[in-house]
Amino acid sequence: MALEIKRVGEKKTDMKECSTKILAVRDALEIFSGKWKIPIIGALIYLETSGFKELQRMIGDITPKMLSKELKELEMNLLVKRTVEDTRPVTVTYSITEYGKTCQSVIFELYQWGENHRNKIKEEM
Amino acid sequence: MALEIKRVGEKKTDMKECSTKILAVRDALEIFSGKWKIPIIGALIYLETSGFKELQRMIGDITPKMLSKELKELEMNLLVKRTVEDTRPVTVTYSITEYGKTCQSVIFELYQWGENHRNKIKEEM
DNA sequence: CAGAATCCGGTCAGATACTG
DNA sequence: CAGTATCTGACCGGATTCTG
């Protein structure tokens, strides 16, 4: 199970081991958080490949600045591939990488939990 | 699979349905993001029940303001229960709820993906 | 002990305008 | 088309101090 900590041994060891795990969780969280990461990933999975403007239209409200920034981060994390074709004017296409597709399972977990949570919270009111 | 969008029918319908899903994902993300949520949940799963100061010591660097704020949010989301015992001085204990434990699976998914991602990124350098 | 109140710098993200 | 540049208000999170 998550964050399970053996109750044997000393506390400090356990908490240290735990901190390392927490770092991994935070890494994952950071990659997906921000207002636009998930929409972008979703759109790219849907479109498979897309230009900048097309992507912007698909997502809706995002400003070019934000789109550019988020795409850079996703690219750094190897989830998205940016390709420049040397036409005139230059054609730039973005596509999701095979590796990028592996995050679908995490996103799906988040979706399920979130969906369930919404109902839970509503019930309680 | 996550964010799967049926390729039949019209785009607008699909994207709208997709937006709703994205909201659920964002809800989940919001609950776990912030610098301290995961450490707090982890500590509470470990301690099962704890006082404010004890929790603060366990987590390490967190200021009382942050701890207080995060605990309130977790309580609002039914993940944490706050109990006040009418002793003198008052004893306040925090514990994880049964429902709170259900997020372990999500956190574990995040942990696994994050851990794997760290290696992936290292490889690439 | 269990917090609340205040101050404050840094980052986030939107609006707008501009470039090649 | 594919972005960059600048300005700005909002918010996050830390430090410190104070209360019952």
Tens digits of per-residue pLDDT, A58-92? 998 999 999 999 999 999 999 999 999 988 889 99
Contact assessment for residue A56 and residue A62, using Cβ atoms and an 8 Å cutoff:
yes
Nucleotides of C under 7 A from a protein CB: 1-6, 12-17, 20
| Buried-state track A14-44, b at ≥16 Cβ within 10 A, e below 16 | ebeebeebbebbbbbbebbbeebbbbbbbbb
pLDDT, greater one: A111 or A2 = A111
The CA distance from A88 to A32, in Å, is: 34
CA of B8 to C1' of C10 (A): 47
Structure-token match 């929409």, residue found: A39
Structure-token match 């591939």, residue found: A81
Q: Percent of chain A having pLDDT more than 90?
A: 75
Q: What is the mean pLDDT of residues B19-42?
A: 93
Q: pTM here?
A: 0.89
For chain A, give percent helix, strand, coil, nearest 5.
60, 10, 25
Residues of B in contact with A124 (CB under 8 A): 78
HEC string of B68-94?
Answer: HHHHHHHHHCCCEEEEEECCCCCEEEE
CA of A56 to C1' of C18 (A): 19
For residue B114 the two structure tokens come to: 């994050």
CA of A39 to C1' of D15 (A): 37
User: What's the pLDDT at A8?
Assistant: 38
Contact assessment for residue A58 and residue A43, using Cβ atoms and an 8 Å cutoff:
yes
Residue A121, pLDDT above cutoff 70: yes
Q: Which domains does chain A have, with CATH numbers?
A: 15-124 (1.10.10.10)
Whether CB of A120 is under 7 Å from strand D: the answer is no
Are the Cβ atoms of B14 and A115 closer than 8 angstroms? Answer: no
* Position A7 confidence tier, pLDDT thresholds 50, 70, 90: very low
